[in-house]
Amino acid sequence: MKLKPIVAACALLACAASFAQTQITVVNFGGANGNAQKKAYFEPYEKATGNKIVGVEYNGEQAKIKAMVEAKQVNWDVVEVESPDVTRGCDEGLFEKLDYSKIGNKADFTPAAIHECGIGTFVWSTVMAYNADKLKTAPTTWADFWDVKKFPGKRAMRKGARYNLEFALMADGVAVQDVYKVLATKDGAERAFKKLTELKPNIQWWEAGAQPPQFLVAGDVVMTTAYNGRIDAAQREGKNLQITWTGGIYDLDYWVMPKGASNREATLKFIAMASSSKEQAEYAKLISYGPTNVKALTMLDAKVLGKLPTAPANAKTALQFNVGFWADQGEALEKRFAAWAAQ
């Protein structure tokens, strides 16, 4: 009789050991996106595989991944990263090269999603947004965003050079297709900062994605730049916030595997599931970010499609974020922006 508790304890230990082997840590940016991923990816994966997912939120700090890899103590299995970080991390040897034979057919994905060290998981956009309860005339261009006589009040913008310099040039009359050509020149960068200076007395900075909708609902600002998924989440809560898609900047987030992560097979299964058309269609229904698996688009109705950055009407005047440009010139421009913002 006395053996039973010992046997039971051994059984528990065995369970714990197998449990530890099949637990993967998935890191994302949290918020509405994190909630959508939990329902569309985490729960189906756990149900299908019996594996356990531990979700972790972060703010995109590549330094954390670098420290883990260099210390050879990697406890994150798969991480959602923004596009500049995929190439940078790949060049620095921070990420595993992906085995696409275990993920899916490359031809099923939008070309920008395919990277040797990562796979694009959704298309998102930084757009102009406003509160239709407080602003009766809708702004339609970035020139309107800058027009404080026609639309008096504060504007919110993300505190950083990225996106704002592009928006400033569009507000100053530069055509979408010429934005990076102009910004790459010394005169173009000067022009963008000069245009930002015009608006500076009316700018309220935001640093977290949750802030723009909060500012609009509170009436702190009349317009803001925002991640389209954050505005979508506010709309689902009944807020009358609207998006102006003209001149929005779209980009992709990617899944990467930090170098030396131990649960390789279980992680590749997760990435494969999160890259499948069925799961990506479910994700797009939960938050208005565009699937990278193009087959997912055929599974969505017109109402859902119409809110995605990848919808033809929304994409026709959009600018694709230029990763190469920001990899080359980003550091200098961000330093210049920080000095400018502090003045």
Domain boundaries, the chain: 19-123+252-314, 126-250+321-342
**One-letter identity of residue 84:** P
Rounded to whole angstroms, the Cα distance separating 202 from 249 reads 22
Rounded to whole angstroms, the Cα distance separating 111 from 99 reads 17
Rounded to whole angstroms, the Cα distance separating 320 from 326 reads 12
Answer yes or no: are the C-beta atoms of 266 and 51 closer than 8 Å: yes
- Range 126-250+321-342: architecture per CATH: 3-Layer(aba) Sandwich (3.40)
Comparing 19-123+252-314 with 126-250+321-342, is the CATH topology the same?
yes
- The fold of 19-123+252-314 is D-Maltodextrin-Binding Protein; domain 2 (3.40.190)
Answer yes or no: are the C-beta atoms of 284 and 265 closer than 8 Å: no
What is the pLDDT at residue 4? 46
User: Does the pTM exceed 0.75?
Assistant: yes
The H or E element spanning position 14 is helix 3-21
Average pLDDT (299-311) is 93
What is the pLDDT at residue 190? 98
Tens digits of residue pLDDT in 227-261 = 999 999 999 999 999 999 999 999 999 999 999 99
**Per-residue confidence band for 26, with pLDDT thresholds at 50, 70 and 90:** very high
* Structure tokens that stand for 68 in this block: 């883990």
Q: What is the chain's mean pLDDT, rounded?
A: 92
Task: Residue 240: count other Cβ atoms within 10 Å of its Cβ.
Answer: 13
**Per-residue confidence band for 21, with pLDDT thresholds at 50, 70 and 90:** low
pLDDT surpasses 50 at 11: no
pLDDT surpasses 80 at 281: yes
